[in-house]
Amino acid sequence: MTGVTLRNVRKSFGTVEVIKNVSLEIKKGEFGVFVGPSGCGKSTLLRMIAGLEETTSGSIAIEGEDVTHVEPARRGVAMVFQSYALYPHLNVFENMAFSLRLARASREKTHQMVGEAARILKLEDHLHKKPSQLSGGQRQRVAIGRAIVRQPKVFLFDEPLSNLDAELRVQMRLELARLHRRIGATMIYVTHDQVEAMTLADKIFVLRDGEVQQSGGPIELYDDPDNRFVGGFIGSPA
């Protein structure tokens, strides 16, 4: 079963083409990682899957359904950003419940979903706190919790750990891997960090200048890079 499929996707800003004919597939339940240097088009590609950026041409499907022209809220995706974008005046519970309130979920369902997300993310003891009373790692967990409660088909992460210190990044990386094992949803994770890519991914897509240079499992790419760029970037000799 397919999770996310891109066919000949292109994106131009004005006359500059920043995504050049990208086709790729991530299976349902897989952890896909887009890795590449700054400016190669990772965020743009992710935002197109989320529907936050229109495609110039090509098509995007989620679990086999064409969503190329579907509005973001109806795609079944939830995105976690690098800046956590929490509501400062709302506590942890209210931050996580926000989208459920918008969707007019019942009180019961809201409590059940937020409670479950809080358990997974070990936030049960912090539900009454405001974002300013939380550590960086806890804030990032709340941002992830807001995605979980929506029960998306696909989770989209745009460099979610890049604002955290090195030690916390390692810890959160392990937690994300655990989260993926636990809920088994399709996830796409964007990073410029090779170690994050190698440790988290079922499948890695190495991007350069808006094109996929190579894709495959971490070991496959490490052992058999197609070219010097991939080898250099993944850290093995080409």
Q: List residues near Mg ion by CB under 5 A.
A: 43
Cα–Cα separations (whole angstroms), residue 177 to 5, 30, 187, 196: 22, 11, 10, 10
In angstroms, what is the minimal distance from the CB of 228 to ligand ADP?
Answer: 20
- Residue 13 interacts, among Mg ion, ligand ADP, none and using kind-specific CB cut-offs from 5 to 8 Å, with ligand ADP
Looking at 43, 91, 191, 214, which residue binds ligand ADP (CB under 6 A)?
Answer: 43
| Cβ closest to ligand ADP, residue 15 vs residue 132 | 15
Strand segments (E) across the chain: 2-13, 16-27, 31-35, 57-62, 65-66, 77-80, 154-158, 186-191, 203-208, 211-216
The H or E element that residue 179 is part of is helix 166-183
Looking at 4, 22, 35, 40, which residue binds ligand ADP (CB under 6 A)?
Answer: 40
Q: Is 39 in the site for ligand ADP (CB under 6 A)?
A: yes
| Cβ closest to ligand ADP, residue 41 vs residue 231 | 41
Which residues, 6 or more positions from 5, have their beta carbon under 8 angstroms from its beta carbon? Answer: 24, 25, 26, 60, 61, 64
In angstroms, what is the minimal distance from the CB of 116 to Mg ion?
Answer: 30
When CB distances to Mg ion are compared, the closest residue is 43
Residues 122-130: contacts with CB within 8 Å, 24+ apart? 123/92, 126/92, 127/91, 127/92, 127/93, 128/91, 128/92, 128/93, 129/91, 129/92, 130/88, 130/89, 130/90, 130/91, 130/92
| Cβ closest to ligand ADP, residue 93 vs residue 205 | 205
Q: Is 41 in the site for ligand ADP (CB under 6 A)?
A: yes
- Residue 38 interacts, among ligand ADP, Mg ion, none and using kind-specific CB cut-offs from 5 to 8 Å, with ligand ADP
Looking at 7, 21, 28, 44, which residue binds ligand ADP (CB under 6 A)?
Answer: 44
**Crossing angle between the packed helical segments 107-120 and 92-102, to the nearest 10 degrees:** 130
Q: Is 132 in the site for ligand ADP (CB under 6 A)?
A: no
Interface stretch with ligand ADP, choices 40-48, 101-109, 124-132, 222-230 (CB under 6 A): 40-48
Residues at the contact surface with ligand ADP, assessed by CB under 6 A: 13, 18, 36, 38-44
